[in-house]
Chains A and B, each alone.
Chain A
């Protein structure tokens, strides 16, 4: 069974950093492009970043470029997102997701999400 499980969320102060992680199981993790998304309370879904299968290519949304960094460890089946210079508007549920087919932009499995709250 394919599973994606996020961890690492919490309450942090503005300007601080946090790493959210996603561990995958039930599929050949190294064969899939992985993405991070977020959803602010009562809001829609925002794409944040992707990383390709061997980490040679990453791409970010303009809203987080330079502040967030995506990485993966195929040996550990994990994909992480380092969140830096956090702002109140970064408060959201963060989801990792698997891209169904290589670069088709469809996401067939999502984690349950991890909440990040940025507040003083």
Chain B
């Protein structure tokens, strides 16, 4: 299975720029997607196909990357962005998710 590696946690202050990384154990082309999950809620799609902003998601969120290295950027960060962020690939079978990056807003 394709393993997606994310940093476990980050802490930033409101107004700052934060980058969350995801590294795949093998190429996933650009079939990488990003989700936000708040406690007790379902995942919410933010970015699909590496860099496409999902409808209704603020333009503060952006994604980039291809192959094995991907980044989700939030700029500027707001207090409401406190959540766990997951990357997910759909190039290789089975679909797999990263273990999540917990973002704390100081």
> Among the listed stretches B14-22, B68-76, B92-100, which one makes contact with chain A, having 4 or more residues with CB under 8 Å of it?
B92-100
A45 pairs with B33, CB closer than 8 A: no
Contact of A44 among B44, B89, B98 (CB under 8 A): B98
Give bound CA distance, A49 to B42, whole Å: 17
Of A62, A104, A110, the contact of B43 (CB 8 Å cutoff):
A110
Q: How large is the interface on B (under 10, 10 to 19, 20 to 34, 35 or more residues)?
A: 20 to 34
Shortest beta-carbon distance from B72 to chain A in Å: 14
Given A104-B31, A105-B33, A105-B95, A44 contacting B43 (CB threshold 8 A): no
Which residues in B have some Cβ–Cβ distance to A below 8 Å? Answer: 31, 33, 35, 41-45, 48-49, 54, 86, 88-91, 93-100
Q: Flag if A47 contacts B45 (CB, 8 Å).
A: no
Query: Can you list 26 A-B contacts (CB < 8 A)?
Result: A44-B99, A45-B35, A45-B43, A45-B88, A45-B97, A46-B97, A47-B95, A47-B96, A59-B93, A61-B94, A95-B42, A95-B43, A104-B90, A105-B31, A105-B91, A106-B33, A106-B45, A106-B48, A106-B49, A107-B33, A107-B43, A107-B45, A108-B45, A110-B42, A110-B43, A112-B42
A107 CB contacts on chain B under 8 angstroms: 33, 35, 43, 45, 88
Q: How far is the CB of A106 from chain B (nearest CB, A)?
A: 4
Interface SS of chain B: helix, strand, loop or mixed?
A: loop
Interface residue ranges, A against B (CB under 8 Å): 44-47, 59, 61-62, 95, 100, 104-108, 110-113
Closest residue on chain A to residue B6 by CB atoms: A44
Chain B residues with CB below 8 A from A104, complex form: 31, 48-49, 90
Closest CB in chain B relative to A97 CB, distance in Å: 8
Contacts of B88 in A (CB 8 A): 45, 105, 107
